[in-house]
Chains A and B, each alone.
Chain A
Amino acid sequence: MFLDIFQYSFIIRGLEAGIIVAIIAPLIGIFLVLRRYSLIADTLSHVSLAGIAIGLLFGLNPVLTALMVAVLASLGIERLRTSKTVYGESALALFLSGSLALAIVLLSLGHGLNANLFNYLFGSIVTVTMTDVYTIAILAIVVIIILALFYKELVYVTFDEDAAKVSGIPTKLINTILIILAAITVSLSIPIVGVLLIAALIVVPVVAALQLKKSFIKTILYAEIISLFSVVSGIFASFYLNLSTGGTIVLIMLAIFILIFTAKRL
């Protein structure tokens, strides 16, 4: 009975894509959470939805169109935020509602797309194609390489932006790189947890790991463990119990957070 699950190729594809996303999300998440940027993941996911609508409407790969739109929007958000003409969170609100509106209008243009849309909103590993797995894998490798190259600069800018700038780190460039990586991560997580739950995947494991009060590198490690455990067990649980995969994963993550949070305060 237990091995049944591996007889379904869609489950294997889902697991593959899920594990890749589980590895990437906290790596980006730690920088976003510590910089009080958590909400940017939410905004970029709604922006991705507009990208998906474009993909569905024109018959292109929705993950790729979501990626392109999210990256462009991330640059726009960063520009608007640093121009200081609007507050940081206002910039996020503008993009969040604007792209959601655009997505709805685009989808109403193409009739009969609604069934597909549901998968992208809530995620469904059943619909993960082999092309999706390859796309996710390649982008994940790109994200990891860029993160490795700029890791120490990202850490310093996150800890103390002024001091980092004074010691000669190109902080503008580093901020731009971070937000582009966030956009990439958000769009490639869509098939697994869906637009509405991506932010949880990026934020919750990191917030849970932060409760343990460890060094920076150990915090990343614990976030990775929490993330991988939640995604893998979530996929299995949702298969056997016939539940929504994205929702199950996020609920497991939250349960781990609550467990750590209470254990630390007993």
Chain B
Amino acid sequence: MQVDHTKNIIEVKDICFSYGDEEVLKDISFDVHKGDYLGVVGPNGAGKTTLLKLILGLLPLCCGYIRLFGQDIKQFKNWSKIGYVPQKATNFDANFPATVREVVAMARSAKKGLFHNKNQEDDKIIEESLKQVDMWDSRNRLIGDLSGGQQQRVFIARALALQPEIIFLDEPTTGVDKRSQDDFYALLKKFNQELDLTLVLVSHDIERITKEAMHIACVDHTLTCHTSPEEFLKESGSLNMFGQKIKIIAPHHHN
């Protein structure tokens, strides 16, 4: 199927954000198009997660605007178009009494909205989502009993169960061993290419993300670059480019 890569899904314009007096982000503008695979990189504390939380409506903007699917974020209601895989370590209680299946079912229930219970079709979608990440056989295991890589796959399935158009992932491979990371990125590539899922992935693993993503956005309190991985590597010259702030804001349509 041909994907219309010029269709704007996310439009971020001149946004800024402060925690109290501390300015975390300013003058950030970029677009995400349908079918994109955007890697957001930057040093620790540069505001990557904050940027993601702003786009997801978890934090209020101080200035500028964000449009999701053409609609201002304040009016946006269709949240089930957006999947979210949060930073694992901070967001999840390993002793939480929930099975793999229950975790994925939570998201599916959320999509149904208040006062609607899930039906057979939802059960089918939950099953398919778990099969896509190869975790269906573990459906009755407790989420806390799984390895880091397996847990992360379940969280992907949870996002998939919403049948979203875009998935945001925040440092998804933190604490996941190398082999599971390879599987994980292969899975993401498959979703991006075969299901036309748009992906936005925040990562500090520059080496890896430049191999996977179509575009790279560098965030260090402001947007220091937005370019192709090849350009990014050429311009930065090395993998630790965040000492000097480079300015390459390139157009990023592809044809």
Contact = CB atoms under 8 A, between A and B. Distances in A.
Interface of A: 34, 149-150, 152-153, 155-156, 159-160, 162-169, 210, 213-219
B102 A163 contact: no
Given A34-B96, A159-B96, A215 B84 contact: no
A34 to B, nearest CB: 6
A214 B110 contact: no
Contacts, number: 89
Given A159-B98, A160-B91, A160-B92, A215 B142 contact: yes
Judged by DSSP, the binding face of A is helix
A160 B53 CA distance: 14
B97 A166 contact: no
B97 A152 contact: no
Contacts of B96: 34, 159
Given A162-B84, A162-B86, A167 B97 contact: no
B57 A165 contact: yes
B159 to A, nearest CB: 8
Contacts of A218: 97
Interface of B: 53, 56-58, 77-80, 82, 84, 86, 91-93, 95-99, 102-103, 106-107, 109-111, 113-115, 117-118, 140, 142, 158, 162
Contacts of A169: 110
Given A162-B58, A163-B158, A215 B110 contact: no
A156 B109 contact: yes
Given A159-B106, A162-B91, A150 B97 contact: no
Contact of B110 (A34, A156, A217, A219): A156
Contacts of A150: 114
A150 B158 CA distance: 20
Nearest to A155: B106
A159 B93 CA distance: 8
A162 B86 CA distance: 8
